Structure 1
């Protein structure tokens, strides 16, 4: 059985996790359910944040009780589709008996749910894609699923395998601004451009990536600056950067200087929502 110690050994938790503690009795009373002990350990160790910029556990503490909020909305949101398409909905939804209860979400909009049948420590996981209406059941706990997927030992048909990240990480919640910088190619190779970019932000720490048929993506941290970056050609030639809002002026000047050294020109700068910035 996979434990919190196994997950911590694979993915170091933050030194000071955000929204990691509170009154579990109150949470369970509001839900009307006892929760699995491994989930409590997960939240206590990691708090609010994301695994590999993709999976977000629904923390019940802090300004928003995400676990309760999602639980309260689930049945009502899914009711019209279930009534019209009962054959596509093989599971009941919380608070129905044995219904699915979401404990984590992905950046793609997928849901990781428990089947709330039996003792909480025996609940298993269902990955659910609500856009395509398909489900994938896994006979494992929340921590078992996370450890399996992050280590590459467990795959699900609902979202892609974690095959490009060899050193998985957890990023605690913090307020960040996001800017996407679209670039021309220039004359230098991708590797040369990446080296120049990382030198401008040194020291940096690798956070994984991939290279398939010329489509490349490299994730890294500017460790002393506290910025997260992705340099890629997988979704167009661009730099994606996340940073504390108060650093915006320094981010802009540093990256624009680096881009000139890379031999590239800026085509556009937008937020992750597509809104123009840095005009």
Structure 2
């Protein structure tokens, strides 16, 4: 995973959060009943709650933050489980095998999910739902690879080319 974080740092810049206490993750993972993938945890621990390219929001689970991941997940799970919203996803929102756990949002209307593996030997995948339509895309890659593709300006449903034509950047959320 260190190589993945190094690649993210090379594109996005040096992280300033550098969280090392596992307690918020343990508490959140206990609440939702799953262990988040290590690449996702490592990136979020390094950068904290941030806005990338004035487009993509990543949040950290530390409860003292104004923008924390656990609160966002609770709110989003409630919304995506509503009958009229559930039809917009390829699988139910939740923490069970094959379900979709919301982990990021974009100002351009996309919601980013981690697809919970069907079993311990299956990989995590990324699903992006376009909020303004019933369209969604399964990306056959882990979160770190998906984020790297986004930072490089590749079209991974959320696309940064118009938001960061020179190079990716980020700002901490308050």
TM-score (norm 1): 0.53
2:74 corresponds to 1:72: yes
Task: Give the strand-richer structure, 1 or 2.
Answer: 1
Highest RCO, 1 vs 2 (Cα 8 Å, sep ≥ 6): 2
Tell me if structure 1 keeps the 8 A contact 2:103–2:114.
yes
**Cα contact 1:60–1:67 (8 A) shared by 2:** yes
Q: Does 1:99 align with 2:91?
A: no
SS state at 2:74 partner:
helix
Report 1:120-159 matches (<5 A).
Answer: 122-152=123-153, 154-156=154-156, 158-159=157-158
Structure 1 segment 202-213 matched on structure 2, within 5 A = none
* 2:60–2:68 CA contact under 8 A, matched in 1: yes
Aligned CA RMSD, in angstroms, stands at 2.6
Partner Cα distance (2:158, 2:45) in 1: 26
Q: Tell me the residue number matched to 2:114.
A: 114
> Does the CA contact (< 8 Å) of 2:115 and 2:125 recur in 1?
yes
Q: Which residue in the other structure is 2:32 paired with?
A: 31
Shift of 1:58: 2.4
Unaligned runs of 5+ in 2: none
User: TM-score of the superposition, structure 2-length normalised?
Assistant: 0.81
* Structure 1 spans left out of the alignment, 5+ residues: 175-279
